[in-house]
Amino acid sequence: MNLLAFDTSTEYLSLALMRGGAIFTFDTLAGQTHSQIILPQIQTLLNEAGLQLHDLNGIAFGAGPGSFTGVRIAAGVAQGLGLGANLPVVGVCTLMALAEASGATKVVACLDARMGEVYHAVYVKNSIGWQTIVEPGLYKPDAVPVVEGRDWVGAGSGWQVYSEVLSTACSGKVEIIQPALLPTAEAILKLAQPVFTSGEAKSASEAMPIYIRNRVALKTSEREQGLKL
C-alpha cells in the first residue's frame, strides 16, 4: 500500500510517505510558511520514493485540533490532492497522533491551545488499538479531567507550557512527560493505515478539520496583547 500523510497543526510541517514497507519522512520548523512549502515538499518526497500522486492508495492528514490556519491548510491540501487524483482520505485527531508518537500505552495528550488553554484527551492502547478514555476537549490547564490510576505519560506542548499546573491537576499520576513531542505524520500514517485497509476511508470532499474551539478570530485588543489562537 502507498500512502501519504501530513500534519500542519503546529508550527512544524511533518510529512510521511509509505511505499510498500518503506517509509519516507520529512519534518521541519515551518513557522507561518506551511502553505508555501507543503506542496513542493510533498513532490520532493514522492520523487524520493519514486512515486507519482496517482500511484497512491490514499491520503491521511492531521485534522486537528491545533492551529486554526494549520488544520485548514491540511484539510484543504487533502481535499485538493484527493479530488485531483481520485484518492480517499482519512483525517486523524492530532491528540491521538501524539499518543501514538509517544510509544506509551497510557497517555494524557495535551497541546498548547494558546489563550491560556490546552487541547486535551486521554488514551489507552490495548490489543485492538487506541481506546479514548477522555474525548478531545478544550480546557484551562488547571481544569483538565482527572485521570485514574498511575503510570500515565504526558505528551505534547501543553506539558511544556503548563507542566507544573497540569502535573498538579493530574495529582501526581503522570510518571513521565514528553513535552517536546509533536503529532507527527508518521504517527498519523500508522493510525490511518488500518482505516484504509478496512475500506473505511472517506471521499476527499469529506476532509474536514477538527476545531474544538469555537472562536476563530481575536479581538483587536487581544491581538495587541500578543495573544494567539
Q: Identify the structural domains of the chain with CATH numbers, from first to last.
A: 2-93+183-224 (3.30.420.40), 95-178 (3.30.420.40)
Residue type, 106: K
| Planar angle of CA 74, 122, 163, nearest 5 degrees | 90
Residue type, 99: A
The reported pLDDT for the residue numbered 225 is: 55
Q: What is the rounded CA–CA span in Å between residue 140 and residue 151?
A: 23
The residue whose grid cell reads 473505511 is 200
The reported pLDDT for the residue numbered 222 is: 42
Whether the pLDDT of residue 217 is over 90: the answer is no
- Identify which of 212, 204, 183, 130 has the alpha carbon closest to the alpha carbon of residue 6: 183
**What pTM does this model have?**
0.91
- Can you read off the three cell numbers belonging to residue 105? 500505552
- Can you read off the three cell numbers belonging to residue 125? 492502547
Residue-wise pLDDT for 90-116, tens only, equals 999 999 999 999 999 999 999 999 999
Handedness of CA 49, 31, 65, 103 (dihedral sign): positive
User: What value does the mean pLDDT take over residues 118-131?
Assistant: 96
Residue-wise pLDDT for 148-206, tens only, equals 999 999 999 999 999 999 999 988 899 999 999 999 999 999 999 999 999 999 999 99
The residue whose grid cell reads 514497507 is 21
